[in-house]
């Protein structure tokens, strides 16, 4: 969440940027509740001060009946004001505060997905001399992908993979983990279930039923994770971190309802309810987060270049940013069957938005504490990297020639 002091000083800016992100918030109402909270809190402090003065007047001796009566009256009044403050100001204020999205830099493109700005391209996107099959058609033809049985067992958009497609995913996972570990990220296996506080704290709570992505366990305060970002953020919840930066590489399944997503490109593995993913996550000082963001995007590009996947980097527009993101880039692979770029990886600077919600701080040089900045980036979504490989490395005879970087992880296999 945003610092309430920042909102007080930048109310119009916060309101404007929330609307440009597509969020309906009432900053004026928030500040009205905040003023009421502070006024009632000041009354409580006056009563507490009077109570302390009354205790001092007793001088350590047994208080008189009048002093006891006066003390009881002060405590009763304080309790009444506290209850009034919590019910009419503090709790309503916190509810609105939690609904306000992060702001974004002035150089962010305005608009929705259509306004995302291309930053750079890499790789050969020239047409092939033959018709390239989309990944789902190719994989089903070779008996490596089965959505029909997945639907029978679990429902639409669940699936089975088999044979060399499984080997490909494992190879991609090993490569991604190796590359990011070599760049200083600590490999992590994480819980696949988290509490509601951790969902809210990372900003994954949906505004509407149509946006709901998180699976909840009935009767328990447990939710299936949509990304390793959630448990990695929560790893340092309510902690003061002594040494920064902290860089982690989380490997986990991702479970997503994909509510409201079926108007988007969703063929085959592109948009499914369960997939595995390698996620980069960084905790750092505020002054270092912009540089970390650049480094993480460069690392994503490095993985794509090692795999020889044609891609472009796009800057995400305000209306396409999530609540928590301050600044975000996507890496999109080139899809020969679609003759279009499709999202492959993303990388976000979340600033202190999640850290404030989950109380994650660090010790400053002055001896105090401050909230950390957090960043997340996809090192490999193992449903989408195979798509990019299958569609970009098909040959005329129907095989898929694997990039050389994967050969050491494929037990000598060089084609699918």
pLDDT in tens, 29-53: 999 999 999 999 999 999 999 888 8
The pLDDT-based confidence of 205 (bands split at 50, 70, 90) is confident
> Comparing C-alpha atoms, which of 113, 74, 57, 95 is closest to residue 265?
113
Query: Please, what sign has the CA dihedral across residues 374, 375, 376, 379?
Result: negative
Q: Exactly one of 346, 356, 361, 383 is catalytic; which is it?
A: 346
> Comparing C-alpha atoms, which of 199, 237, 193 is closest to residue 323?
199
> Residues near 164 by Cβ (< 8 Å), separated by ≥ 6?
144, 413, 416
d(CA 32, CA 42): 15
Residue 384 annotated as catalytic: yes
- How confident is the model at residue 366, as a pLDDT? 85
Q: Mean pLDDT for the chain? A: 92
The pLDDT-based confidence of 370 (bands split at 50, 70, 90) is very high
- How confident is the model at residue 211, as a pLDDT? 59
Quickly tell me which residue has 């440009």 as its tokens: 20
Instruction: Output b/e per residue, 202-231; b: 16+ Cβ within 10 A.
Output: bbbbeeeeeebbbbeeeeeebbbbbbbbbb
CB atoms within 10 A of CB 129: 6
The pLDDT-based confidence of 206 (bands split at 50, 70, 90) is low
- How confident is the model at residue 259, as a pLDDT? 60
pLDDT in tens, 371-414: 999 999 999 888 899 999 999 999 999 899 999 999 999 988 99
- How confident is the model at residue 3, as a pLDDT? 93
Residue 48 annotated as catalytic: no
Query: Please, what sign has the CA dihedral across residues 129, 130, 134, 136?
Result: negative
CATH topology of domain 113-409: BirA Bifunctional Protein; domain 2 (3.30.930)
d(CA 137, CA 309): 20
Burial of 379 per CB tally in 10 Å (0-12, 13-18, 19+): buried
Sheet harboring 274-284: ordered strands across? 117-122, 311-315, 327-335, 340-349, 373-381, 274-284, 246-255, 186-189
Quickly tell me which residue has 């490095």 as its tokens: 302
pLDDT in tens, 310-346: 999 999 999 999 999 999 999 999 999 999 999 999 9
3-state SS of 48-91 is: HHHHHHHHHHHCCCCCCHHHHHHHHHHHHHHHHHHHHHHHHHHH
- How confident is the model at residue 316, as a pLDDT? 97
Residue 271 annotated as catalytic: yes
Rg (CA), the chain: 26
Question: Which stretch of DSSP H or E encloses residue 278?
Answer: strand 274-284
Considering the domain 4-99 in this protein, what is its CATH number? 1.10.287.40
d(CA 407, CA 409): 5
pLDDT in tens, 107-135: 999 999 999 999 999 999 998 889 999 99
d(CA 350, CA 280): 13
Q: What is the mean pLDDT of residues 263-275?
A: 82
Q: Exactly one of 289, 343, 357, 383 is catalytic; which is it?
A: 343
> Comparing C-alpha atoms, which of 40, 152, 125, 141 is closest to residue 86?
40
Q: Among 125-129, 243-247, 362-366, which range has the highest average pLDDT?
A: 243-247
Residue 335 annotated as catalytic: no
CB atoms within 10 A of CB 235: 19
Bridge partners, 380 (sequence order)? 278
d(CA 392, CA 11): 48
Q: What is the mean pLDDT of residues 240-268?
A: 84
Asked if 71 contacts 56 with a C-beta cutoff of 8 angstroms, the reply is: no
The pLDDT-based confidence of 67 (bands split at 50, 70, 90) is confident
Residue 99 annotated as catalytic: no
| Residue 264 in this model has a pLDDT that exceeds 80 | no
Residue ranges covered by each domain of the chain: 4-99, 113-409
- How confident is the model at residue 208, as a pLDDT? 47
pLDDT in tens, 208-222: 444 578 999 999 999
């Amino acid at each position: 969440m945003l610092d309430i002091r920042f909102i007080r000083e930048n109310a119009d800016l916060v309101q404007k940027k929330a609307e440009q992100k597509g969020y309906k918030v009432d900053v004026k109402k928030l500040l009205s509740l905040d003023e009421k909270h502070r006024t009632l809190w000041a009354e409580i402090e006056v009563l507490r001060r009077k109570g302390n003065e009354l205790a001092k007047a007793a001088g350590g001796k047994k208080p008189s009946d009048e002093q006891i009566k006066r003390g009881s009256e002060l405590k009763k009044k304080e309790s009444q004001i506290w209850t009034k403050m919590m019910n009419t100001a503090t709790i309503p204020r916190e509810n609105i505060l939690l609904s306000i999205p992060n702001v974004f830099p002035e150089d962010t493109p305005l608009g929705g997905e259509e306004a995302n700005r291309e930053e750079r391209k890499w790789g050969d996107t020239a047409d092939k001399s033959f018709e390239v099959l989309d990944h789902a058609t190719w994989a089903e033809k070779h008996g490596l992908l089965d959505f029909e049985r997945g639907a029978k067992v679990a429902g639409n958009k669940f699936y089975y993979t088999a044979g060399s497609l499984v080997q490909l995913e494992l190879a991609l996972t090993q490569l991604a983990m190796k590359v990011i570990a070599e760049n200083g990220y600590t490999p992590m296996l994480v819980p696949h279930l988290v509490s509601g506080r951790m969902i809210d704290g990372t900003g994954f709570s949906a505004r509407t039923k149509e946006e709901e992505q998180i699976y909840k366990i009935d009767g328990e305060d447990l939710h299936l994770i949509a990304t390793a970002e959630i448990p990695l953020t929560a790893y340092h919840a309510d902690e003061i971190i002594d040494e920064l930066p902290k860089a982690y590489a989380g490997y986990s399944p991702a479970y997503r309802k994909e509510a409201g997503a079926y108007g988007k490109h969703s063929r085959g593995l592109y948009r499914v309810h369960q997939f595995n993913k390698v996620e980069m996550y960084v905790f750092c000082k505020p002054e270092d987060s912009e540089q970390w963001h650049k480094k993480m995007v460069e690392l994503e590009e490095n993985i794509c270049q090692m795999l020889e996947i044609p891609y472009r980097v796009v800057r995400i527009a305000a209306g396409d940013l999530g609540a928590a993101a301050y600044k975000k880039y996507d890496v999109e692979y080139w899809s020969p069957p679609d003759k279009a770029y499709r999202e492959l990886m993303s990388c976000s600077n979340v600033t202190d938005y999640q850290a404030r919600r989950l109380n994650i701080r660090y010790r400053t040089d002055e001896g105090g504490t401050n909230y950390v900045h957090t960043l997340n980036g996809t090192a490999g979504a193992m449903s989408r990297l195979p798509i990019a490989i299958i569609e970009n490395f098909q040959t005329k005879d129907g095989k898929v020639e694997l990039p050389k970087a994967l050969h050491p992880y494929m037990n000598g296999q060089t084609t699918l």
